[in-house]
Structure formats: structure tokens, C-alpha cells
Amino acid sequence: MTTVLETPAPAAPAPVRHSRRLWAAVPWLLPAISAYWVLHYYDTPDKQIALYAVYLLLAVVVPGTLVFRAAFGSRGNLPEDLGLGAATGLLVLLAGWALAAATGLQHLLIGWPALVMALFAAVPGLRRHWRTGPGEPLPIGWSAAMAVVLFMVTIWGATVFRTVPLPPHTAELYPDLYYHLALVHEMTRSMPFQVPQLAGETLKYHYLSDADIATASMITGIDAHVVFLRLWVMPVAAIAVLVFAALARSVSGRWWAAPIAATVGFVGQSVTVGSIASPPGIGLPITLLSPSQTYAMPLIGIFVLVAADVLRGKALRWWGWALLPLLAVACAGSKASVLPPLAAGLLLAGAISLIGKRKIPWTTIALLATVGFGMVVGLKLFAGGGAGTLQPQFLATMRWFLPYQDVIGTADDVQWGGLVQDGLESAGTAARWFVAWSLIWWFLVQAPRLVGLALPPKVRWSRPRQWADDQVPWLLGGIVIAGVLGMWLLWHPSASQIYFYNAVLPVCGVLTAWALADRVRGRLVPVLGAVAGGLWEFFAPALTVPVSRDAGGWAWAMALPLIRTAALVAVISLIAVLIWRKRAARALSTALIAAIAAAGTVSAVTRTVESLGDPPAIKVRNHVAVTAAEMKAALWLEANVGKDDLVATNVHCMPMSAQQCNARAFWVAGLGGHRTLVESWAYTDRTVAANGVNDLKYFFQPAPDPAVFALNQRVFEKGLAADVQELRSSYGVRWLFADTAAGKVANAPLKAAGAVVVHQIGTVVIYRLY
């Protein structure tokens, strides 16, 4: 497969270079101003925005850029050095946090970035890394295009924040947000870590994203919930965009492939062309609801970029080889689903090299061993007992697809159920044909992400076995294939198998951009293709409902928009071939890739604009939404209670007063910032591993320690002096967080037993035990 490299331009005079640098900096004002406006509009204090910007520069970008240049070499231009350096800075800061958490020296963490910068200033051999290495600057067009992509990321941020108000505000937030916020507070403590909602339980989870948020909060002094719910997500997403943009430019040799890859990977989604069905799976690789997923993207991007360079013969410094195992462990501790696809890609690349060149690919083996090291250490340090719930099952993700639910008509068990899910196994012939069509349909509407597999960068056959010369396309293709297979061949009770596909979406964007770059011979064809694809996605006639909700009705409703699209493509292609003949035939694949990529982008932008035009969708269901008063009470705990004090609460469920407890409240530990004896246990190892017991999903399972839970409940409901004393002396509880919305609170008996009311607001009473 051939990479078309652009011819370097002659060196410009110094005044011209200075002027060009200034003009190249102008486009970056767009995402910067947009990010500020979004944060300011959604209630983030201006001083905290400014402080966090300084933190990003001095604690993340500058130290990370120095380490990146020392370990992997400069890219020859400042923007890519800073983007890749920021991703490396996340790893450098993570190392400082780990040292602080292991030694209890969190108060010195603020000096860690300064120590790194001082090292590069003091050591003569490292001083050169303060300067960009040799190379040509990127054109202004790159800066302008990338600035537009990052601007769209900030608009995505606005769609997120409008549904997640900053506390205290009566709202029903996704429970995982409270769960991660509690983990953020836990990461400010020293090792070993505990499950903050179930004190004493060892924490086994991919919590490194929470550690990064905690580090930002500790260094800046900004409240953890403000960092997490506002300041953190857009910069990390922007860093990931820059990393994969650099990867696209590197592998394709075309600067404009970078913004296309970033757009397809981080902005674009599946095409709709008027369809009413929504494909299963998460739309983007970045999401506030899963900070671990978002945080893992820049880290795995760095690894893929370095791997691609090494597979193409770039010599890696000893610093680089030393840093790669740490990077692999960081990836595993960020999101468990990111390393397996990379391992699969390296296996495929190595196999192709072995077959084609007939010699052992030692470099590929070294990279694969490094990834394997990260996976093994990750299993040891981060994977909990609940990880065993991930099982092989064919098309398990299909059960989350609305047409499948209508057609199959069988509610699959909450348990694993074998290699084929129950509904599919008992389905009739028509229903099975419909499922097969649904899978084909999914691949078609995912064309913006997967077209790089169907129409990959061209293979050259000018000499034997040339297809094995470059391992990089096989690496990227293997990563994407593994992500797709992981989504469709694995089962998890909460559909977490989709994260395997989610993890490879940025690589999909790179492969799509490279496939286009390898075919383009001029601007006209891809521009016309992109315009046509975008216009059709926007103006395609929309269906409202299927004629019937059976196999035939849904199959036709899903097929009709694609039939219309195929007919339009066929007509336009035929006209073009009749007029321009061979030239048109050669250009068809180029136009098609451009049209598909543009359609996916227009689809995503249209949804975003429509979302911003709707009223904010803040849920406030009774007994599910946490009231502003309850939030204020929890925030009082964070501000007034000793950091290591233990809290007991009667809040456990969502809704709080439900007869069958969905144990995912999480907000007392999340907003309160303290460990609780027993709050919510849905995500603990023992609970997740018990999924399916008594035909109940894991979050409906009872508390893992019934005796402690019973004692906890008796204290709040009866307030017996003996129970209060046992809670205090045997378990070390210092505070009671009692919410009458969650259940009965024996106020008078508690006072008689020595509990002192120290704060009361709304339905919450906080007691101190002496």
C-alpha cells in the first residue's frame, strides 16, 4: 500500500515565517473562545476557567511536550508537538499522582510538573527539547480546518452540559456520574483504595480517568464536581482529536487527511438518509457519561501512532521503549476495551509481515509483548470480579436494537444464556432473516466509519509481495475489525461490549481519511462527492413510522432509505461515466468515500443543532431526581467533615423509595466526597458477579454484606443506642446522613443515643457521633 508524500516547500525568509506563524495562530481563537463561552454559559465561574487553562498549560502541555520530544522525537511542527505532548502530559501527571497516592504526599503534587520542567532546564542534554525539531511547519489550512473540528467538539460539549446542571440543582443525573465523582474523591486519598460507596471493599476498576480529574482538582483547588462536570471533558476530547489527526497525517502523508480523520472519528456518526431506525452502539468515542472511555482515547492514540512509526522503521529511543510499557498500563487502567483491539491489529500486521517477507517481525513482536504486559498488569491491578460477566455470545448487542425487540418479541434472560441469545435461538425463519438483514443494515449505515475497510488504501502489485511492505494498514485494519467483532460477538448485562467498537472509532476515521487521501488526484472530485453526500443526507425524505412493527414492516422501513440512496448513486455514476468515461470510472471510489464521510458529518451536525434548539432535557422525576436541598446537604459534608471520616446513610436506591432496590444512588458519596459504610453496591465485584441470581440483574441484587446492611438500617429506622454504639466503635462511623425521602428516620431515639444534629436542610438531617 502506497503513501503519497507531499513535496516540502522551499524555506521561507524569516519575516515571512514569522507572519505565517501569526496567521496560523488566528484560527485557534475560534475553539478557544467557543470553549470559554460554553463553560461560562453553563455556570462555570470565569476565574476557575482561567485557572484551569493555566493548569492545562503548565501541568499538562509543557511537561508532556518535553517528555514526548525526548522519548519519541519532535514531529517537526509546534501544533502536533503540543497535541501529542498534551497526551503524554496526561501520562506524566498520572505518574506523579501514583507516587503521591502511594506515599501520602498529595500536598506535594503541585510541584510535580515543575520538577519535570526543571529537569529539562537543568540537564544540558535535555534542553534542546524546549525547541521544535527540524521539519516544515503545517500549512495555515491545517490550522483552520482543525480549529473548525475543535469548535464542533465544543458545541458537542454544549449539548452535554445542557442536560447536566452543576450542583446544587434539582435534577436526575445519570447514576454513573455520581459513581465516578465518588471515585474522583477516592483518588485524592492514599493507596490502597476502597469502594467509596461500600467502605472496606477493595476497589478494582479502571479508575485512572478519575485519578486525572482528582489530580486537576488537587492542584488547582477547584471543586471536584466542577472539574468533572465542566472543565475536564472538552480539553481531553480536544487532545484526543489532535493525537489522531497527527496519526492520520503521518500514515497518509497528506496534511488535509488530519482534519478529515478527526471529523469522521470524533464528530461524524452513522448516516441516516431519512431512516427512522437508530443503530445500536454509542455515537461518539467521547462521552461525559463514561470518563474512562474519553480519557483512554488520547493515550491509546499515542500508542498507535508510535507503533505505526516503529513499524515503518523509525528508530525508537530508549526513553520511548521505557515509556511504552507504562503507557500500556495506563491504557489498561483507563479502559479495559482499548488494548485488545490494538493487540489484534499487531497480530494481523505481524502475520502479514511473516507471510509476505518470510522472516520474523521482531519489532512487531516487541510491540505486541508491550501491549500484552499492559493487559496482564491491568488485569492484576484494575480488573474486578465483575469482569467475568463478559461472555461470548453471537449478536448479543442486537437485543438493544428497537426493531429487533419488536420483531423477536422475546425478552432475553438477564443471564448470559449461551453462545446464542434465547430470543434469536427460538425465532422463526422470517425473524432470523430479519436479524441477518439488520446486521447488514448496521454495516451499511456505519459506512463513514467502515468504508476504509471496504475501500482501503490501494494495494500496489508492481512487484511480488509488495502488499506486505507496509504493516501499518494491516495494523489499523486489524484494530477496526477487532473492535467490530468485540461488539457483535460478546455479551455483557449492560451492553458494555459496545465499548470495543467505541474504542476504535478514531482509528476508523484515520482509515477512512487515508483511503480517500490515497485516491485523490485533484480537488474537484472529492469536493463534489462531499457536497453531494452532505446534501443528500440533509434533504433525503424522512420516514416516520414503519407500516407495521413486524419483520416485514421494519425490514422495508430500514431498506427504503438505502434503496433510494443506492438508486441516486447509480444514476449519478452512470451519467458521469457516460460523459467522462474512464476518468469518471477511476474517480468513482474517491467521490463515494468523500460522499459517505460528508454524509456522516452532516448527520451528526444536524442532530447536534436540533438538540441545541430543543428545551434542556433535565429530568426531575420524583424520588429519582436529587433535590437541590439534598445536594447542598451532601456538599456540606464535603466542606465540613474530616477527609477520612466515615459516613453512614440510609440512601441506597434509585428511586429512593422503591420496593425493589436499584442500588445505584451513589450521590451521597459522590457529592459528599466521603466514604460511606453502605450506600449503593451495584458496581461492586460481588454484586456484578451475582448477575442473574434469582433472575435479577446485578443492580437489583441485595447488599453483599447483609449483616452490615441490616445494622445500618436499624440505626436509621430505630435509633437503638446499642446499634449506634456498634456503628461507631466497630465500624468507625463518625457521621449519619439521614434522608427522610429514603425511609423512616428515628430522630428522637438517635438524639437519645448520643447522635448530635449538626446540619439540617430539606429532607436531610446530618448527625455527628461522638
Across residues 497-520, what is the average pLDDT? 96
Q: What is the dihedral of CA 330, 333, 334, 337, to 10 degrees?
A: 110
Q: Please give the pLDDT value at position 370.
A: 98
Q: Please give the pLDDT value at position 460.
A: 58
State which residues form the domain around 758: 628-769
Would you say residue 107 lies in a domain? yes
Would you say residue 166 lies in a domain? yes
Q: Which residue has the cell 491491568?
A: 378
Eight-state DSSP code of residue 620? -
Would you say residue 370 lies in a domain? yes
Q: Please give the pLDDT value at position 385.
A: 55
Positive or negative, the Cα torsion across 694, 697, 698, 702? negative
**Same domain assignment for residues 507 and 557:** no
What is the model's pTM?
A: 0.94
Q: Helix (H) and strand (E) counts for the chain?
A: 31, 6
Report DSSP letters for 276-321, one per residue.
----SS-S-S--TT-HHHHHHHHHHHHHHHHHHHHHTTPPPPHHHH
**Over pLDDT 90: what percentage of the chain?**
80
**Same domain assignment for residues 603 and 724:** no
Give tens-digit pLDDT for 554-596.
Answer: 999 999 999 999 999 999 999 988 888 888 878 999 999 999 9
Q: Please give the pLDDT value at position 204.
A: 93
Whether 4 shows a pLDDT value over 50: the answer reads: no
Q: Within 10 A of 49 (CB to CB), how many other CB atoms are there? A: 17
- Name the burial class of residue 539, with classes exposed (0-12), middle (13-18) and buried (19+) by CB atoms within 10 angstroms of its CB: exposed
**Same domain assignment for residues 482 and 543:** no
**Same domain assignment for residues 547 and 691:** no
Q: Please give the pLDDT value at position 3.
A: 45
Report DSSP letters for 632-666, one per residue.
HHHHHHHHHS-TT-EEEES---SSTT-SS------
**Same domain assignment for residues 44 and 112:** yes
Instruction: Give the pLDDT band of residue 463 (cuts 50, 70, 90).
Output: low
**Same domain assignment for residues 111 and 184:** yes
Give tens-digit pLDDT for 106-161.
Answer: 999 999 999 999 999 999 999 999 999 998 889 999 999 999 999 999 999 999 99
Last residue of a domain, one of 585, 612, 639: 612
Last residue of a domain, one of 612, 638, 657: 612
Q: Within 10 A of 1 (CB to CB), how many other CB atoms are there? A: 20
In the three-class reduction of DSSP (H, G, I as helix; E, B as strand; rest coil), residue 335 is classed as coil
Pick from 166-175, 412-421, 650-659 the range whose average pLDDT is largest.
166-175
Would you say residue 83 lies in a domain? yes
Mean pLDDT of the chain: 93
Positive or negative, the Cα torsion across 231, 237, 238, 243? positive
Q: Please give the pLDDT value at position 14.
A: 58
- Which one has a higher pLDDT value, 262 or 582? 262
Across residues 60-84, what is the average pLDDT? 97
Nearest one of 280, 273, 274, 328 to 303, comparing CA atoms: 328
Would you say residue 200 lies in a domain? yes
Q: Please give the pLDDT value at position 464.
A: 61
Would you say residue 277 lies in a domain? no
Whether 81 shows a pLDDT value over 80: the answer reads: yes
**Same domain assignment for residues 121 and 197:** yes
Would you say residue 388 lies in a domain? no
Q: Residues with Cβ < 8 Å from 231, sequence gap 6 or more?
A: 39, 44, 48, 49, 52, 216, 222
**Same domain assignment for residues 484 and 633:** no
* Interatomic CA distance for residues 513 and 519, integer angstroms: 10
Query: How many domains, the chain?
Result: 3
Across residues 540-555, what is the average pLDDT? 88
**Over pLDDT 70: what percentage of the chain?**
95
* Interatomic CA distance for residues 693 and 701, integer angstroms: 8
**Same domain assignment for residues 217 and 265:** yes
Last residue of a domain, one of 612, 645, 680: 612
Positive or negative, the Cα torsion across 733, 736, 737, 738? positive
Cβ contact 273:540 at 8 Å: yes
**Same domain assignment for residues 583 and 672:** no
Whether 8 shows a pLDDT value over 60: the answer reads: no
Whether 282 shows a pLDDT value over 90: the answer reads: no
Across residues 75-101, what is the average pLDDT? 98
Instruction: Give the pLDDT band of residue 278 (cuts 50, 70, 90).
Output: confident
* Nine-digit cell string for 9: 516547500
Give tens-digit pLDDT for 719-770.
Answer: 999 999 999 999 999 999 999 999 999 999 999 999 999 999 999 999 999 9
Sheet holding 755-761, edge to edge: 646-649, 733-739, 764-769, 755-761
Q: Please give the pLDDT value at position 426.
A: 81
Give tens-digit pLDDT for 372-382.
Answer: 999 999 999 99
- Name the burial class of residue 718, with classes exposed (0-12), middle (13-18) and buried (19+) by CB atoms within 10 angstroms of its CB: middle
Whether 219 shows a pLDDT value over 70: the answer reads: yes
Across residues 205-225, what is the average pLDDT? 98
**Same domain assignment for residues 555 and 697:** no
Across residues 528-550, what is the average pLDDT? 91
Would you say residue 761 lies in a domain? yes
In the three-class reduction of DSSP (H, G, I as helix; E, B as strand; rest coil), residue 440 is classed as helix
- Which one has a higher pLDDT value, 463 or 21? 21
**Same domain assignment for residues 299 and 225:** yes
Which stretches within 312-361 are classed as H helix? Answer: 318-334, 339-357
* Nine-digit cell string for 233: 471533558
Across residues 407-411, what is the average pLDDT? 73
* Nine-digit cell string for 663: 442500588
Nearest one of 481, 500, 97 to 336, comparing CA atoms: 500
* Residue 13 identity: P
Eight-state DSSP code of residue 60? I
* Nine-digit cell string for 358: 518470510
* Interatomic CA distance for residues 489 and 394, integer angstroms: 5
Cβ contact 289:556 at 8 Å: no
Strand partners, 194: 202
Give tens-digit pLDDT for 652-669.
Answer: 999 887 789 999 999 999
**Pairing of the two strands 733-739 and 646-649:** parallel
* Nine-digit cell string for 21: 506563524
Instruction: Give the pLDDT band of residue 1 (cuts 50, 70, 90).
Output: very low
